[in-house]
Structure 1
Amino acid sequence: MLAILGFATIVVFLLLIITKRLSVITALVVVPLAFGLFAGFTIQELAEMILTGIKQVAPTGILLIFAVLYFSVMLDVGLFNPLVSLIMKYVKGDPLKIVMGTAILTMIVHLDGDGTATFMIVISAFLPLYKQLNMSRLVLAGIVALSVGPMHLVPWSGTSARAIATLNSDAIHIFNPNIPAILAGIGWVLFVAYWFGKKERKRLGIIPFTYDHQAILTPEQAAQQRPKLIWFNALITVSLIIILMKGWVPAPVLFILASTLALLVNYPKPKDQQQVLKAHGANIFLVSSMIFAAGVFSGILTGSQMITAMANSLVALIPVEHASLLPVLTALTSMPASMLFTPDAYYFGVVPILSKAAQHYGLDALQIGRAALLGQMTVGFPLSPLTASTFLLVGLTEVDLGDHQKFIFKWAFGTTLVMTIVAVLTGSITM
């Protein structure tokens, strides 16, 4: 019964946001609460689950509040203007080159395996270009989402770390066999970027113009520029990224300190600081409120044991005679599973069950880990309502989550499908 209610919760939630019957924030709270009550839990029990879920996402919520503030300040002061101008000099108003550049830069930046940092850096650099040329921001969000997918299989990403830890293995046995599949996934993403770029070029044409960032600024925006402080801002930004990658300081604390320093140095007057906070307050609230609403959603699904029940029911659906297909089935369902399970729930709940089932049928349990990584919270995480960085992605690009999911889901599943085929052909997983 709990499994049915869990699946129903996910389906109803997705239908409501895709059809825009409810906003994402209200759906994240109302839907699990309603199904939790229907399952027989009391308000007090649900309140405890919600509080647990909120506590779990609180560090991420704080991180995103101050990370959005930091990069908003960096955009305002013009830190990325030279990079944007350099890119514009190369692409010369060609939407195809811009979309391809978006994909390539995203992959390079995402070598650190940190989705949040990647989204902030890449979107900060490219969003002005897309706005200037009137290009689709759905394309921007979609290509960035696709481009992080194959790169998120790197062994130091949080997702891969979970798979390695759950199976008591190492990168050599989990990551290395998947390298051909990852390369195939990269090739697929570049193909999709080329396809999108061709469509945008056909829609808009090549727009020859001399790019002058200052010319497109309003008087208020021009007043916020700090060209004399560009080297200071570049230094603290590079330092921030290095410290973030090294893990020397907890990310929420790091961004609190960095955003405070950025405000103090660039806008020493309290009045100017207040103006900056007011200007970006709506975006910061939108992103942060969705994070805490997501905590309500995951808290109820986890605390009610719906997620555990869903995992057990999925395993029970596999007939004995088709047990050899378990790794391939895991791979093919891995990307859609990102919409159902948090990474902790999947890799610490579902993967152990699937790996034990694989061993029972004489299969290598490590195949389940490799198969799961072909989509679950790798390719799928930038679409999932269960990950905080998804809301950062749609918030920064100013697109609707439902629109983003409808636009890019099939292409993301295509990435998993391509990687699965190559993984089978190269022996990373068998069938």
Structure 2
Amino acid sequence: MLSIIGYVMLLSMIYLLLKGKSSPIVLFISLPILAGLLGGFSPVEIGEFAAAGLEKTTSNAVLFIFSITYFGIMNDAGMFDILIDKLVKKAGNSVVAITVVTAIIGIIGHLDGATATTVLVTIPAMLPLYKKLNIRPQVLLLIVAAAMGVMNLLPWGGPTARTAVVLGIEANELWKVLIPIQIVGVFTTVGLAVILGSIEKKRGAGFDSSKLSNENNLATAELAATMTADELSLKRPKLSWFNILLTGCVIGVLVADIMPAYIVFMAALSIAIIVNYPNKKDQESRIKAHAPAALLISATMLASGVFVGVLGESGMLDAMAKTLLSLIPSFLAPFIHLIMGVVALPIGMFLGTDAYFYGLLPLVIEVAQTYGITAMNVALTMILGKNVALLISPLVPATFLATGLADVELKDHIKFCFGWLFAISLIMLAFGIVFRIVSI
């Protein structure tokens, strides 16, 4: 009975999330409570289940509040504007250099883990050059998608934080395991940019070097033109190097694991906002500007604790796993984590992030543990492909923002990017196995 209730709850959640019928926060709270009541549990027991789940999500929710606000303020201050401008100018009239610079800007731009921000920083800056060079805009979107997919493995990235919640560990702890694979992903993204640039050059992309000086300044002019007077007033170009150094220190402390990640961002946010916006009114304005995004994501993560707690503590997940286990051919079951790693990208495209990590992942973990496969092993295989699918998923709003800015049809974008991104996900999975981060 618990198994049936669990699957009905899971399928209902997936359906409602895909159809956009309700907020994830509402679904993560209401559906588990209803399922618990149908399963015969008392309100007191359901409250205990939910409390146990919330213990797993609280620290990561706090991390999101302060990390999103920190990187939002860094973006307001124009932390990487100087670097991006210099990179674009140095690329000159080289098609390959332009595609490589796109990859670097995408990687740098996604340090904040915000998909919309990365799209707005990268595409308006590079699209004018792509048009003048006669490089297909699909190439720009593909490189940005790869960069975002790789960088979203950071501890403040949504998938990593959600996976950490399911595993019941700190997001920073999971990220430290993923770092070698992420480094491979960064080099793979740059390599992809070189390959795509070479392909575009063979197709005839490029322009007359006599126009070089004008084209070098075009991207910066186009990007500035998209900014309002208020946005320009927030820029702090003289503090760019301080902000870059501060962010480097933040990442260094996170890698060293000296203190909890959310404490690191609390301290960094305080320093950043005092230095960049010493006026109290400006400080409050910047915090209020980024509060909606920070609080919405953090509230969703806290609400997911109710779902995770009821699903696990009630025995519902165990019952669901036993049902699924009876349906899987015995010769395939010991390799379920690898199978899920291979198909993670196509599944991730059509299954929303919350449904994938809070619904599918716990179920696969429970089944895999029957065959001695650790929860961490399953999580590592399933997060890689899903991350890379980020900007080709119709369920991600930034996908429509990106295709709109580049004036590319969604179907053409997916058709062009799918194979390349699928290859990147498989490469990262393969290196995970080679590095023995993922066990066969």
What interval of TM-score do these two structures reach, taking the shorter chain for normalisation? 0.5 to 0.7
The alignment status of 1:143 with 2:149, answered yes or no, reads no
1:18-40 deviations in whole A, cap 9, x for unaligned? Answer: 11112222222223232222222
For residues 99 and 15 of structure 2, the distance between their equivalents in structure 1, rounded to whole angstroms, comes to 30
The correspondence of residues 339-354 of structure 1 with structure 2, limited to 5 A, is 339=356, 345=362, 349-354=366-371
- Over 3 Å counting, the alpha-carbon distance change for 1:188 and 1:279 in structure 2 is closer
TM (norm. structure 2) is 0.64
For residues 96 and 22 of structure 1, the distance between their equivalents in structure 2, rounded to whole angstroms, comes to 45
Q: Please say if residues 149 and 389 of structure 2, whose CA atoms lie closer than 8 Å, have aligned partners that are also in contact.
A: no
Aligned pair partner of 1:332 in 335, 339, 352: 339
Q: Please say if residues 72 and 112 of structure 2, whose CA atoms lie closer than 8 Å, have aligned partners that are also in contact.
A: no
The alignment status of 1:21 with 2:14, answered yes or no, reads no
**Match of 1:130, as an amino acid?**
I
The alignment status of 1:62 with 2:65, answered yes or no, reads no
Structure 1: 5+ residue stretches without partners:
110-116, 164-173, 356-364, 385-392
For residues 293 and 191 of structure 2, the distance between their equivalents in structure 1, rounded to whole angstroms, comes to 30
Q: Please say if residues 77 and 266 of structure 1, whose CA atoms lie closer than 8 Å, have aligned partners that are also in contact.
A: yes
Structure 2 counterpart of 1:360:
none
Aligned pair partner of 1:378 in 377, 381, 384: 384
Structure 1 counterpart of 2:170:
none
For residues 78 and 229 of structure 2, the distance between their equivalents in structure 1, rounded to whole angstroms, comes to 14
TM (norm. structure 1) is 0.65
Moved more, 267-276 or 222-231: 222-231
Q: Please say if residues 153 and 387 of structure 2, whose CA atoms lie closer than 8 Å, have aligned partners that are also in contact.
A: no
Q: Please say if residues 119 and 401 of structure 2, whose CA atoms lie closer than 8 Å, have aligned partners that are also in contact.
A: no
The correspondence of residues 253-292 of structure 1 with structure 2, limited to 5 A, is 253-292=263-302
- Over 3 Å counting, the alpha-carbon distance change for 1:76 and 1:37 in structure 2 is same
Structure 2: 5+ residue stretches without partners:
128-136, 168-176, 208-213, 349-354, 403-409
Q: Please say if residues 62 and 252 of structure 1, whose CA atoms lie closer than 8 Å, have aligned partners that are also in contact.
A: yes
Structure 2 counterpart of 1:249:
259
3-state DSSP class of the match of 1:249?
Answer: coil
Count of aligned pairs: 374
Structure 1 counterpart of 2:130:
none
3-state DSSP class of the match of 1:378?
Answer: helix
For residues 247 and 415 of structure 1, the distance between their equivalents in structure 2, rounded to whole angstroms, comes to 28
For residues 399 and 53 of structure 1, the distance between their equivalents in structure 2, rounded to whole angstroms, comes to 34
Report the alpha carbon displacement of residue 74 of structure 1 after superposing the two structures with TM: 0.7
For residues 129 and 5 of structure 1, the distance between their equivalents in structure 2, rounded to whole angstroms, comes to 45
For residues 113 and 398 of structure 2, the distance between their equivalents in structure 1, rounded to whole angstroms, comes to 8
Report the alpha carbon displacement of residue 311 of structure 1 after superposing the two structures with TM: 2.8
**Match of 2:255, as an amino acid?**
M
Q: State the identity as a percent.
A: 25
For residues 297 and 93 of structure 1, the distance between their equivalents in structure 2, rounded to whole angstroms, comes to 53
For residues 120 and 34 of structure 1, the distance between their equivalents in structure 2, rounded to whole angstroms, comes to 33
3-state DSSP class of the match of 1:211?
Answer: helix
3-state DSSP class of the match of 1:377?
Answer: helix
Structure 1 counterpart of 2:53:
53
Report the alpha carbon displacement of residue 251 of structure 1 after superposing the two structures with TM: 0.3
3-state DSSP class of the match of 2:220?
Answer: coil
For residues 227 and 119 of structure 1, the distance between their equivalents in structure 2, rounded to whole angstroms, comes to 19
For residues 422 and 262 of structure 1, the distance between their equivalents in structure 2, rounded to whole angstroms, comes to 37
**Match of 1:256, as an amino acid?**
M
